[in-house]
Amino acid sequence: MRLRCAVLDDYQSVATEIADWSPVAETVEVTAFDRHFADEGALAAALADFDIVVTLRERVPFPASLLARLPRLKLLIASGMRNSVIDYAAAEAHGVTVCGTPSSSTPPVELTWALLLGLARGIVAEHDGLRAGGPWQSTVGADLHGRRLGLLGLGKIGGRVAAVGLAFGMRVSAWSRNLTAERAEEVGVELAPSKEELLADSDFVSVHLALGDRTRGLVGAAELALLKPTAFLVNTSRSAIVDQDALLAALHAGRIAGAGLDVFDVEPLPADHPMRSAPRLLATPHLGYVSRSNYETYYGAAVENIQAFLAGTPLRRLG
């Protein structure tokens, strides 16, 4: 009897086509789910008969309570090499091996700039107006050249976002608690004296920090109040870094020019979620990691992980 492998959140129905699963076809039966399971009970029921699960990024939590309800599960593969929603101790206690995959930082960098440029030039509003027979020009675009781009975080992704900003002729500064002058100089950007000064001085702010105890709620109502009324905020990192209620209030009050979001507290967003109708918001459904090359990497590496696990030599173990 073949082992059963579930692939979660395959919204585009491409998981079994975008990579070559033939190396494990004789030993593993793959089932892809193109819908998200909204609660733990539904997920546990759906996965009860599976030995292997492939999950995308940090979309689906695997707490101890869920792992206890999956007695057949032996291998959990998460795309990327970091996952904060898997209980590794519980996985080990239940005999579940957890593995990761490589992941490229290029797609989220590119999406960050898609959102920033879309906001700056009013792309969606102008497109909608043109297609619907609306006014010929209704917005005045914000310039990038000579304007200040403030980055919260200057790691791998933040550094590449900075390089694009510099290419546009922007003045780029960055801040994080552990950011050094040496790292800022290496990237060619200014080190902001403080988070508050970065926010107050920037025309565009982009978030590129890992989520943790020190970054959760890092940008709240007080921080948003520091932004210029002409400033834009972009977050393609983790939603909890920016207080969502405070951001909604700022958008509705017109205290900032706009925001670009790819991450949300609840995903997928419920149909009646206030973010779906917020003014001055350009939003995408967590597309930061969604690109052909990344999917080829994720699922190709998942096949490698399954092969290695079956051979008794797991690859890229997490936890």
Region of 182 on the Ramachandran plot (φ > 0 left; ψ -120 to 50 alpha; else beta): alpha
Taking each helix axis from N to C end, the angle separating 106-120 and 292-310, rounded to the nearest 10 degrees, works out to: 160
Distances (CA, A) of 273 to 34, 243, 264, 266: 21, 15, 10, 9
| Annotation marks residue 238 as catalytic | yes
| Annotation marks residue 267 as catalytic | yes
Burial grade of 136 (CB within 10 A; 0-12, 13-18, 19 or more): exposed
Taking each helix axis from N to C end, the angle separating 156-167 and 106-120, rounded to the nearest 10 degrees, works out to: 40
Q: Where are the alpha helices (DSSP H) in the chain?
A: 40-47, 64-67, 88-93, 106-120, 123-131, 156-167, 181-187, 195-201, 221-224, 244-253, 292-310
| Annotation marks residue 36 as catalytic | no
User: Which of helix, strand or coil describes residue 8?
Assistant: coil
Given the residues 160, 190, 286, 304, the one annotated as active site = 286
Query: Do the beta carbons of residue 101 and residue 79 sit within 8 Å?
Result: yes
Given the residues 59, 267, 296, 316, the one annotated as active site = 267
Dist CA 35 CA 39 (whole Å): 12
Given the residues 147, 160, 208, 238, the one annotated as active site = 238
Burial grade of 168 (CB within 10 A; 0-12, 13-18, 19 or more): middle
Q: Could you give the angle at the alpha carbon of 15 between the alpha carbons of 51 and 20, nearest 5°?
A: 90
- Enumerate the active-site residues: 238, 267, 286
